[in-house]
Structures are given as C-alpha cells and as structure tokens.
C-alpha cells in the first residue's frame, strides 16, 4: 500500500511537470548555461540582457547578433534521483520498523516536495543587437508546484501526534512575454548599461504566498483527544497584465586579463494583473476558475472528536469553511523579483578564460531563490569553430549544478548548445536536467583589432 502511494505521488508530479515551468534566470542562453551562470562579464551582444547590459559597450569582433531560433528547458525536483527512486521502488517500506519510509520522509525538505521545469523561447528575428544597442523579445514560463511536507508525511505515515502538520501550499504559474531595449556606453574606465523592459502578462494563476497558510494538529492525551486546525488560501488568477522592470549594470575595462562587473536585474519590477490588454480582450477576461481575480478559501477543524461525530454536532459545526470572491479582485500587483550579480573573468591562457559569478535573490519566488549562488565556469576557444565550455554552481534553489556545452561556428552562422545536471554530479544522482540550444547569426566588425 505504501509503495502504491509513492507511485501515485510520483505520477501526479510527472503530469503536473508537463505543464508547469520554472526558471532560475528569466532568459536562457546556451553559453551562459554551459558556464553554470558565470556569465555576468562574459555575455556579449543581445545575450547581455538579464545578465549585465553594460557589456554591450565592450568592443569585440562582432558588431551585431540576431537569434533565428532557440529553446531552453529543464525538469527538476528536490527529492528523487534515479538512484533514490530505484532504492525505494518495489521495496517494503514497512520492513525493519519502517526504516526505508523514515529515510524517505527525512529527505523531504522543510518547504515540501517541489517540482520545477522551465521553458524559454526567444522570438525568432525579434532578438537582435548592433554595436551598443539591443532589442530582445522572449516568451517565458515561470512556475512552482509542490506538496507540503505535512501532507506527504500524512499520506505515508499518518497524522503526527502533538505536532502541527503543515498544509502550506505554494503554487505559481506565470506566462509572459518580455520585451527589452538595452543600451550601454563607456564612462572613463567603466562601461554602464541599462535595459528597459515591458512585461506583457499572458496568464497567471496561483496561491498568494503572503496570505495562504494551513495546518492540522492531532492532540492525544492529557485531556485533549481531538483534531484542530485552520487554513486560508488566497487564489489569484488573470489572463491579462502588464508591467515594467529595469536592469542596471557596470563593467570594468580589462586590466591584466581581469574584468569585473556588477548588475541588478529587474529593478522595480512589477506586473499589474487584470488590466485591460489585447490578450485579455481576446480571451474575454476568463480565468481558470470563474471570471478571474481573487478567490479566498478557508477551513477550520474545531475539536474534531468521536463524541461530536455521534452527537448533535453537524459536519459544518466541526469543519466550518467557505469561499468567496474578494471585492478587490479587479486588479492585483505582483512583484517581479530582483537579482544582484557580482562577476569576474580572467584570461588564464590564450584562448582559455575563467569566469566567476556571485548572485543573490531577494525573494524566494519564481526565478529568484532568496539565497546566494556561486558559479564558476571555463571557456576554451583555441578552436574558434568548436568552443568548449563547462561550469559548476553551488547554492540557489538548485543547490548543486554541473554544466557543459559547445557550439559550431562557421562564418556568420553560430549554433550553441548546453546540457546541465541539477542537484547532482552524475546522471544517476542528479535530480534534474537542463537543455538549451540557440541558432544565431553575427556580423563582424571591420575596425576590431
């Protein structure tokens, strides 16, 4: 029975993962992914957007870039790898006093069993840069689904006695198109750049993390033999929104092979939902539940015990609850979280460059992770037609990531690809994968030396 429950949970997560997306960086680039995100001073041309727009002012061999096609995607959870799945699959979880079951429950993080995947598609032709200016347009899906640890524990182990069983669900799903105009210029020995973004919201639905909570507690002994609890969940949804954000960056000139950079992504980023847009008018402002807006759901467990069930108390007396559409549901505002990035690169040999980035997210939501992330990458271009890249990162929501990639550059046609393993250094121990591919063209500078 316990094995069947695990199979059901895994199956549900796989189904949800086919439709839910999350990214740890709003835009994806194979070169940046292959360097594990150590890309703050390595990015050039249109690929500087969301990393450091100041790099647009750095003179290099290409005067222009244009993307003709690409995709970035990943699939990650925070518990199961191939090795751990095989360890539990088909085993008797109750053997040896439930040793395997307890081991599985201990591996669930405090924020529950979460699943992430991502999808980023640069719009063909509408992603280009020339010299110190760039225009980008990207279709982005961001999401986060999961089960609270208390619910997974209840399914496998029953309700704990004397402890709050957390029912804090955190669910988000966001679909937007991000347009950005970027420009950069030199200031003495520094380069300064800025990106102005327009965020076109296609759809959002999820639970407001600041207002949603829930728990159930089972009391047994000392005169308390009943269950109690409460929960409140604010569900928000919309099919139309718009907002703005800005990136600001500084990069130094190269000194003795070193280059430093600092940038802040999505400063003042906000999206106003349920605003009248072309998308909302085409779809008739219809949400996934009702007509869009905010819907509140709540419940209580008021001393649920056997004598009440067989007494005069009705179900509504023991488990009161309800739902309603909130009167202020016409518009709600969502923060588009910011990221701060400190970057460095160093030429360690001719055709071999090392890069390091330290990134911090200020909010644990969407692509941000509310923690520090350290990335290190190396790029070898001794054979310009076949560049080689590899990287590793620690921290953030992936905790541990190993990446590698390459490309094929012939004339003005460039194809780059990258592959990464999340939360593990080998296929059997990793808990997710990243894949990214881009096809783009370049124009060379005649004045570059």
Determine whether 97 is exposed, middle or buried from the number of CB atoms within 10 Å of its CB (0-12, 13-18, 19+).
exposed
Radius of gyration of the chain (CA): 25
Q: Are 372 and 360 in contact (CB under 8 A)?
A: yes
CA atoms within 13 A on the CB side of 193: 38
Residue whose token pair is 């219809």: 286
Domain that holds residue 198: 2-349
Handedness of CA 424, 429, 432, 438 (dihedral sign): positive
- Nearest CA to 438 among 47, 135, 55? 47
pLDDT at residue 344 in the model: 95
Convert the pLDDT of each residue in 247-290 to its tens digit. 999 999 999 999 999 999 999 888 888 766 666 666 555 555 54
Residue 252 lies in a domain: yes
Residue 416 lies in a domain: no
- What three-state secondary structure class fits 315? helix
What's the total number of domains in the chain? 1
pLDDT at residue 14 in the model: 40
Convert the pLDDT of each residue in 357-403 to its tens digit. 999 887 766 666 667 889 999 999 999 899 999 999 988 766 788 99
Query: What residues contact residue 97 under an 8 Å CB cut-off, 6+ apart?
Result: none
CA atoms within 13 A on the CB side of 389: 28
pTM for this entry: 0.81
Looking at the DSSP bridge assignments, the partners of residue 375 are 357, 393
Q: Are 205 and 214 in contact (CB under 8 A)?
A: no
pLDDT at residue 57 in the model: 95
CA distance 36 to 71: 17
Residue 434 lies in a domain: no
Residue stretches of the chain with pLDDT short of 50 = 2, 4, 6-24, 290
Residue 197 lies in a domain: yes
Residue 441 lies in a domain: no
98-107 CB contacts, 8 Å cutoff, 24+ apart: 98/157, 101/2, 101/156, 101/157, 104/6, 104/156, 105/152, 105/153, 105/156, 105/157, 107/79
């Amino acid at each position: 029975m316990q094995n069947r429950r695990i199979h059901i949970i895994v199956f549900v997560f796989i189904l949800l993962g086919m439709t839910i997306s999350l990214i740890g960086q709003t835009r994806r680039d194979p070169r940046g992914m292959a360097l594990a995100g150590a890309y703050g001073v390595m990015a050039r041309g249109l690929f500087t957007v969301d990393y450091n727009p100041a790099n647009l002012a750095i003179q290099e061999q290409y005067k222009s870039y244009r993307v003709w096609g690409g995709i970035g995607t990943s699939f990650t959870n925070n518990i199961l790898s191939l090795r751990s799945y095989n360890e539990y699959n088909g085993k008797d979880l109750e053997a040896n006093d439930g040793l395997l079951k307890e081991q599985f429950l201990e591996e669930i993080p405090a924020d529950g069993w979460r699943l992430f995947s991502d999808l980023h598609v640069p719009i063909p032709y509408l992603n280009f840069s020339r010299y110190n200016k760039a225009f980008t347009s990207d279709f982005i899906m961001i999401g986060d689904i999961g089960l609270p640890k208390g619910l997974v524990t209840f399914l496998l182990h029953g309700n704990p006695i004397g402890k709050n069983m957390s029912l804090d669900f955190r669910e988000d799903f966001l679909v937007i198109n991000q347009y950005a105009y970027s420009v950069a210029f030199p200031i003495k020995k520094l380069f300064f750049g800025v990106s102005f973004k327009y965020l076109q919201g296609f759809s959002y639905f999820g639970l407001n993390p600041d207002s949603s909570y829930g728990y159930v507690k089972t009391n047994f002994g000392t005169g308390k033999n009943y269950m109690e609890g409460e929960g409140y969940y604010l569900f928000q949804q919309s099919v139309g929104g718009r907002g703005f954000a800005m990136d600001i960056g500084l990069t130094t000139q190269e000194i003795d092979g070193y280059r430093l950079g600092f940038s802040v992504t999505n400063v003042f980023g906000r999206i106003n939902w349920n605003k009248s847009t072309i998308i909302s008018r085409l779809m008739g402002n219809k949400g996934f539940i009702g007509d869009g807006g905010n819907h509140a759901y709540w419940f209580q467990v008021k001393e649920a015990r056997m004598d009440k069930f067989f007494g005069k108390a009705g179900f509504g007396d023991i488990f009161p609850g309800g739902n309603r559409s909130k009167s202020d549901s016409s518009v709600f505002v969502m923060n588009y979280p910011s990221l701060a990035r400190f970057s460095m690169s160093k030429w360690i040999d001719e055709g071999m460059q090392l890069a390091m980035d330290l990134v911090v997210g200020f909010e644990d939501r969407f692509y941000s992770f509310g923690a520090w992330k350290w990335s290190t990458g190396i790029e070898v271009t001794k054979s310009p037609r076949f560049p080689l890249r590899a990287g590793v990162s620690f921290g953030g929501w992936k905790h541990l990531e190993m990446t590698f990639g390459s490309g094929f550059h012939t004339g003005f046609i460039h194809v780059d690809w990258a592959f990464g393993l999340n939360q593990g250094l080998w296929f059997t121990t990793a808990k997710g994968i990243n894949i990214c591919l881009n096809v783009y063209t370049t124009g060379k500078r005649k004045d570059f030396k």
